[in-house]
Structure 1
Amino acid sequence: MPSSHSQFMWFFSVYSFLFLYLRMHQTNNARFLDLLWRHVLSLGLLTTAFLVSYSRVYLLYHTWKQVLYGGIAGSFMAVVWFVFTQEVLTPLFPRIAAWPISEFFLIRDTSLIPNVLWFEYTVTRAEARNRQRKLGAKLQ
């Protein structure tokens, strides 16, 4: 009965919206461009969900009622899943990451790092410099 396309798109859009605004770490010195890309991305996601929903009716695959119920169901499940992952799974993850099997597969908890890409870059750069210094000391 509900449109699965609408349901998926609204789930994805609402979950992404919640993730962008509630989960991603906000800093007090957030730059204008950082805030702008969040707003643009959120607007793009919501626009895409609306366009997919509209296309289902326009192409005569579904009625407005089916698309509306799909959108409501997807949005509701996105909120439920977001709350579940944030309130139940996220607090458990540090313990899960400490399991031997997690260490074997190199699973780590980076949820408290605000910018993982910058963190990885600086750590890798520092390690490369240390290794270069050690290599230079061995050659002399």
Structure 2
Amino acid sequence: MASEEQCLALSQWRSVHLTHVEFPEDDLLGQALAYITLLPVAILVGFVTLIVFKRELHSISFFGGLVLNEGVNWLLKRVLREPRPCPLVRSTLSAGYGMPSSHAQLIWFFVVYSVLFHRLRTRQTDPLWRHVLSVTLLGTALSVSYSRVYLLYHTWSQVFCGGVAGSTIGIFWFFFTREALTPLFPKIAAWPISEYCLVRDTSLIPNVLWFEYTVTRSEAMNRRPKLGPRR
């Protein structure tokens, strides 16, 4: 638990603009961690945007795993009912539970699933790029986890349990998607409702980014003569 001095210092904290994330006043590290701790929220927003514009079945499945992960966290918090640090001083958090940390659970689900995806799914990607991406993702997860403790939103045990839960669900959901859902994607993509909503399946394409680049470039070059010279 947090020390008495740390709890008393909360009266000097202020929140990040347009959010309710608090950090110690005049603490540059705390301010940086306050923005880092918002990364799980940015991930959720990014997934919704990706699904709206890409409408790809694997992305939808990935997002479904995130929703499942959040549901498990909601259930665990209400079963364990462990308070956050400084519940009497930090009135804004008095109504919530801290075990396990939802931010840690979400970020570790996202990171573990992403690492497994790039290691086992996109084998044709440059190995150096895969290593760099894996290290970056792990560093992000550690930074978010540390921010939750530094900003006194959670204890180390709450963050650790959130990380274990998120990692476990991430491993389960990756293999469930690969073994059980991916074989169904072609059938789902052929449904009339899927065709109407432009939902697509790219699970058989090894490098979607390169595929989209080459197809778009080829289509642009084919259409160029038809458009005539620009004036």
Match of 1:22 among 120, 125, 140: 120
Asked if residue 123 in structure 1 is aligned to residue 123 in structure 2, the reply is no
| Structure 1, 84-93 or 125-134: larger mean CA deviation | 125-134
The residue that corresponds to 2:151 in the other structure is: 59
Match of 1:10 among 96, 103, 108: 108
* CA-based RMSD: 2.2
In structure 2, the gaps of 5 or more residues are 1-98
Structure with greater helix percent:
1
> Against the structure 1 CA distance between its residues 121 and 9, is the aligned structure 2 distance closer, same or farther, given a 3 Å change threshold?
closer
Match of 1:89 among 174, 181, 185: 181
Superposed displacement of residue 127, structure 1: 4.1
Superposed displacement of residue 102, structure 1: 1.6
State the distance in 2 between where 1:135 and 1:116 align: 28
State the distance in 2 between where 1:123 and 1:74 align: 36
The residue that corresponds to 2:12 in the other structure is: none
1:86-140 CA distances to partner (integer Å, 9 max, x unpaired)? Answer: 111101000111112222222222211122233233334444555567789xxxx
Asked if residue 70 in structure 1 is aligned to residue 162 in structure 2, the reply is yes
2:158 maps to amino acid: Q
The residue that corresponds to 1:102 in the other structure is: 194
State the distance in 2 between where 1:119 and 1:88 align: 25
Q: 3-state DSSP class of the match of 1:89?
A: helix
State the distance in 2 between where 1:125 and 1:60 align: 50
Asked if residue 114 in structure 1 is aligned to residue 212 in structure 2, the reply is no
State the distance in 1 between where 2:144 and 2:213 align: 38
- Structure 1 length-normalised TM: 0.79
State the distance in 1 between where 2:195 and 2:146 align: 46
> Against the structure 1 CA distance between its residues 98 and 55, is the aligned structure 2 distance closer, same or farther, given a 3 Å change threshold?
same
Structure 1 vs Structure 2: percent identity of aligned residues?
72
Q: 3-state DSSP class of the match of 1:109?
A: coil
- Structure 2 length-normalised TM: 0.50
1:99 maps to amino acid: W
State the distance in 1 between where 2:227 and 2:134 align: 48
Equivalent residues, number: 130
> Against the structure 1 CA distance between its residues 112 and 3, is the aligned structure 2 distance closer, same or farther, given a 3 Å change threshold?
same
State the distance in 2 between where 1:59 and 1:132 align: 55
Q: 3-state DSSP class of the match of 2:203?
A: coil
Q: 3-state DSSP class of the match of 1:107?
A: coil
In structure 1, the gaps of 5 or more residues are none
